[in-house]
């Protein structure tokens, strides 16, 4: 039997506090956001996307970015990242000393226009001074590349377009990039082709996968990326989040589900799956709904049954 060689260790970036919560309609208290970050790092997450510095007019849920960043108790060895769409956002973020900023661009012209009201090339021009200023301040820069396999307005996105976006980001100094299936239409072969296009400009250590589960393909796509040697992925506790500009898109793949997959492959994550599942249930309860993680639900239900059986036998 020929067994695929997977990375021995995988680093996950939990985007739940930012990408997961930003589109919640009811305000999420600052204290809950801070506690979510604390619980994630206690469970073993070493990269957390905490908040974004966007106009409260567009994303009111993130209006407390400063309070959240100031409220978290930072742990050594944990990287805290924030989204900064422009120079104004970066200037505000610098006061809170993030370890990394995230800029974003789309591999689809139509999505770029709908999302940030400019072309792909214009978006890169806007981000160039942001990237330069961040790096001059000693802050790392990650580039989120959306719609790398499909767009809600254009349909399929060719790998050549993804490679072009990766090249443009590399040219302005972006240090690593996320290959994101924003609307969850990707399948393993499409994802691998998108990653191949990016690898023409970035090495494997600076490429990550970010998959949504609209068609139930997120874990399959994660496995396909692992087979290529990708060892960094974004995911969201309890499967929180989606994209308001991508009609029909469901949430990010649940961090718990990805960890269950990885641990089953014998891959080290440094994450306590039980503590993570409990965190997913905790934040979901505060949002008034059950966790979106299948692994989390199954794990906690099994523990509840075991506890009940133990109590009955006592």
Tell me how far CA of residue 218 lies from CA of 20, 153, 180, 225, in angstroms: 16, 21, 11, 11
Q: Are strands 79-83 and 47-52 parallel, antiparallel or unpaired?
A: parallel
3-state per-residue secondary structure call for the chain: CCCCCCCCECEEEECHHHHHCCCCCCCCCHHHHHHHHHHHHHCCCCEEEEEECCCCCCCHHHCCHHHHHHHCCCCCCCEEEEECCCHHHHHHHHCCCCCEEEEEEECCHHHHHHHHCCCHHHHHHHHHHHHHHHHHCCCEEEEEEECCCEECCCEECCHHHHHHHHHHHHHCCCCEEEEEECCCCCCHHHHHHHHHHHCCCCCHHHEEEEEECCCCCHHHHHHHHHHCCCCEEEEEHHHCCCCCCCCCCCCECEHHHHHHHHHHCCCECCCCHHHHHHHHHHHHHHCCCCCCCHHHHHHHHHHHHHHHHHHHHC
Q: Are strands 232-235 and 207-211 parallel, antiparallel or unpaired?
A: parallel
- Rounded to whole angstroms, the Cα distance separating 39 from 234 reads 17
The answer to whether 151 is a known catalytic residue is no
Active-site choice (147, 151, 235, 243):
243
Q: Which residues are catalytic?
A: 243
């Amino acid at each position: 039997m020929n067994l695929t060689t997977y990375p021995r260790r995988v680093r996950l970036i939990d985007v739940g506090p930012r990408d997961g919560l930003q589109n919640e309609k009811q305000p999420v208290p600052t204290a809950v956001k801070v506690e979510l970050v604390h619980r994630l790092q206690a469970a073993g997450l070493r990269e957390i996307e905490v908040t974004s510095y966007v106009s409260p007019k567009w994303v009111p849920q993130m209006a407390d970015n400063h309070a959240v960043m100031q409220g978290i108790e930072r742990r050594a060895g944990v990287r805290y990242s924030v989204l900064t769409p422009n120079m104004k956002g970066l200037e505000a973020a610098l006061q809170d000393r993030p370890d990394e900023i995230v800029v974003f661009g789309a591999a689809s012209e139509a999505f770029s226009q709908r999302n940030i009201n400019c072309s792909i090339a214009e978006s890169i021009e806007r981000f160039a001074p942001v990237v330069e200023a961040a790096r001059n301040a000693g802050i790392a820069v990650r580039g989120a590349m959306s719609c790398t396999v499909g767009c809600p307005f254009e349909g399929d996105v060719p790998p050549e377009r993804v490679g072009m976006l990766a090249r443009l980001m590399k040219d302005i100094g972006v240090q690593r990039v996320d290959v994101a299936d924003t609307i969850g239409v990707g399948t393993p072969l499409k994802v691998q082709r998108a990653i191949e296009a990016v690898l023409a400009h970035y090495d494997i250590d600076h490429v990550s996968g970010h998959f949504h589960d609209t068609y139930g393909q997120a874990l399959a796509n994660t496995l396909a990326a692992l087979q290529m040697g990708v060892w960094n992925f974004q995911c969201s506790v309890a499967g929180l989040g989606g994209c308001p500009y991508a009609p029909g898109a469901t949430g990010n793949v649940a961090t718990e589900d990805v960890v269950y997959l990885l641990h089953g492959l014998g891959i080290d994550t440094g994450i306590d799956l039980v503590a993570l599942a409990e965190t997913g249930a905790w934040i979901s309860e505060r949002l008034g709904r059950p966790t979106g993680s299948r692994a989390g639900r199954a794990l906690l239900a099994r523990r509840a049954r075991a506890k009940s059986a133990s109590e009955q036998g006592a």
